[in-house]
């Protein structure tokens, strides 16, 4: 799994002109699921996301986690994160998981994040044409690939 994590002061996802979910202070996360992903990737990424110290403390130092600040999460599926651009100019999405694999993993990621956070998170809709808006706070943007743990 690949995630792009953005620290935000606000974020929202709109589908067909209707706001499906919005959050205030927290993390907007784009997630790309590949065929080789499993429960282990979800557990590892959830722990990393919830405990990543990227929020400022009282001295302005990035020393607090999402749990520390009681922040929110907006999780958006984005298969294009699995794009291979090695050959030519048209990206290949061969590594992206098919819906029958990706949807259950996406739903499991939602559930695991909610359990770890202790509250519901905002989500997009798998496979929908979504419009995502955000105010990146910092800006702080971090890319994590669960296959590169060391």
Residue numbers annotated as active site? 78-80
CB-based contact 5:141 (threshold 8 Å): yes
Tokens standing for residue 12: 């929202």
Tokens standing for residue 149: 């743990």
How far apart CA 90 and CA 129 sit, in angstroms, is 20
What is the Cβ-side half-sphere exposure of residue 35, based on CA atoms within 13 angstroms? 6
Distance of CA 147 to the CA centre of its chain: 16
> H helices of 11-98, where?
39-51, 66-69
- How would you label 84-95 residue by residue, b for 16+ Cβ within 10 Å and e otherwise? eeeeeeeeeeeb
């Amino acid at each position: 799994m690949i995630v792009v994590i953005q620290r935000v002061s606000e974020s929202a996802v709109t589908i067909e002109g209707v706001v499906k979910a919005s959050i205030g202070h927290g993390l907007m996360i784009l997630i790309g699921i590949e065929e080789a992903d499993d429960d282990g990737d979800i557990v590892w990424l959830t722990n990393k996301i919830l405990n990543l110290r990227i929020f400022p403390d009282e001295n302005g130092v990035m020393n607090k986690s999402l749990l520390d600040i009681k922040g929110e999460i907006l999780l958006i599926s984005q298969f294009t994160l699995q794009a291979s651009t090695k050959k030519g100019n048209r990206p290949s999405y061969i590594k992206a998981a098919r819906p029958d694999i990706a949807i259950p993993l996406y739903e499991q990621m939602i559930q695991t994040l909610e359990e770890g956070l202790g509250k519901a998170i905002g989500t997009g809709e798998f496979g929908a044409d979504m419009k995502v808006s955000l105010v990146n706070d910092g800006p702080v943007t971090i890319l994590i690939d669960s296959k590169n743990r060391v």
